[in-house]
Amino acid sequence: MGKEELLVSHIFIINGYQTIGEPKGKLNATLVHEMERVLSEHNEVKVTAIDNGYDIKQEQEKFLWADIIIFQTPVYWFNVPNLLKKYIDEVYEYGIFFGSSEKYGRGGLLTDKKYMLSTTWNGPLEAFEEDDAFLSGKTVDDVFLGFHKTQEFVGFKPLETFSCHDVVHHPKVDEYIERLRAHLKKEIGV
């Protein structure tokens, strides 16, 4: 019996961290590094850390190359950092990512791609779970509806979101990494 060939995916990881005061993005960098390490065992992986600068055309090529895009981002005021929003505004170009459509929001040109949102929150998970909590009755995906709709607009299909909570006051990095590995195995099959 011959050796089976593994199906290799092209995976593009975007570190959406933006330097604003403290901390300096160590957890996001750690999670991106772990994703790259685990995923590159059986896939081709490219990474962009937007805080280090980027070339718009090169980023567009990475999206076109990728089968799966992973957005690793801290949560700033219930949204992605300003620089990640700017990155999307500059990179998601008409004619490459989306076109005109008779039905609004259905002109996405990248319908063969999947994406995963991975977030780090200062807010604890209890902020979502307790009855009288600030985000009671909401999910991370509810908070990020606009982000998810942007990805749908260009045709991406969602994988399940991954989140780490209470990362500033009570970081549990080993636990986050263990959960991340399990999540990648479930969603991507590594």
User: Is 2 a residue whose pLDDT tops 60?
Assistant: no
Per CATH, the number for 10-188 is 3.40.50.360
CA dist 59 and 126 (Å) reads 37
Under a CB-based contact definition with an 8 Å cutoff, are residues 8 and 23 in contact?
no
Rounded mean pLDDT of 77-93? 97
* Residue 23 pLDDT > 70: no
Taking only the tens place, the pLDDT of each residue in 150-189 is: 999 999 999 999 999 999 889 899 999 999 999 999 999 8
Domain assignments of the chain as residue spans, ordered by start: 10-188
pLDDT digits (tens, 9 = 90+) for 113-152: 999 999 999 988 888 888 888 988 889 999 999 999 999 9
- How many residues does this entry show for the chain? 190
Average pLDDT score over residue span 51-70: 98
CA dist., res. 22 & res. 82, Å (int): 16
State percent of the chain over pLDDT 70: 95
* Higher per-residue pLDDT: 22 or 92: 92
* pLDDT above 60 for 102: yes
Higher pLDDT, 79 or 8: 79
